[in-house]
């Protein structure tokens, strides 16, 4: 079992509060790996330390602590069930996807629609000028509302 000070040393942190912040960030993932010792001291198992090392590796790669914890949660959620297994609280989609030929035909139709739509929008841009919403100042809409003319 590892104490906060052990975690601080093993992760190469400079203060115990940094270790506590990391524990707090993934508290839900560490729930089964944490115990309370004498004087209400937090103790972590080997598996808990591995989770904190994963969090620290993600943090060291450039993510913030909250981003790293979200990545860990998403990985945990996707790894917690087998593909094809029904998730609790979800109803399996009963629609039939059809044959591969039908799927390919549907995708071709969608691509043709999107190409037509892009061509139409490009033509609109050419005929009506190149002033896009990005080029407008944020106050232009307010000026139009308050002109009084």
Among 18, 115, 106, smallest CA distance to 59 is for 18
75 lies in the same domain as 21: yes
14 lies in the same domain as 72: yes
pLDDT at 136: 64
Total-model pTM: 0.52
Residue 130 lies in a domain: yes
Q: How far apart are CA 49 and CA 37, in angstroms?
A: 16
Domain that includes residue 17, residue range = 4-79
66 lies in the same domain as 104: no
pLDDT for residue 127 is more than 60:
yes
pLDDT at 87: 47
pLDDT interval class at 51 (50, 70, 90):
very high
75 lies in the same domain as 104: no
pLDDT for residue 20 is more than 80:
yes
pLDDT for residue 124 is more than 70:
yes
67 lies in the same domain as 118: no
pLDDT at 15: 93
Q: What is the pLDDT of residues 69-92, one digit of tens each?
A: 888 888 765 554 444 455 455 555
pLDDT at 81: 44
Residue 119 lies in a domain: yes
pLDDT for residue 129 is more than 60:
yes
pLDDT at 17: 94
Q: What percent of the chain has pLDDT over 90?
A: 32
Residue with the two structure tokens 């002033």: 131
Backbone angles phi, psi at 124, to 5 degrees: -60, -40
Number of domains observed in the structure of the chain: 2
Residue 23 lies in a domain: yes
């Amino acid at each position: 079992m590892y104490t906060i000070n052990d975690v601080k040393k093993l992760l190469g942190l400079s203060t115990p509060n940094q270790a506590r912040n990391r524990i707090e960030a993934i508290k839900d993932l560490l729930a089964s790996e944490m115990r309370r010792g004498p004087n209400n001291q937090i103790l972590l198992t080997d598996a808990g330390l591995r989770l904190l090392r994963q969090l620290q590796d993600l943090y060291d790669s450039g993510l913030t602590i909250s981003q790293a914890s979200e990545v860990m949660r998403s990985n945990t959620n996707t790894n917690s069930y087998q593909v094809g297994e029904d998730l609790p609280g979800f109803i399996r989609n009963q629609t039939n996807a059809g044959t591969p030929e039908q799927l390919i035909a549907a995708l071709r139709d969608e691509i043709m629609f999107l190409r037509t739509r892009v061509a139409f929008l490009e033509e609109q841009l050419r005929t009506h000028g190149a002033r896009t919403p990005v080029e407008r100042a944020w106050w232009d809409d307010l000026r139009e509302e308050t002109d009084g003319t």
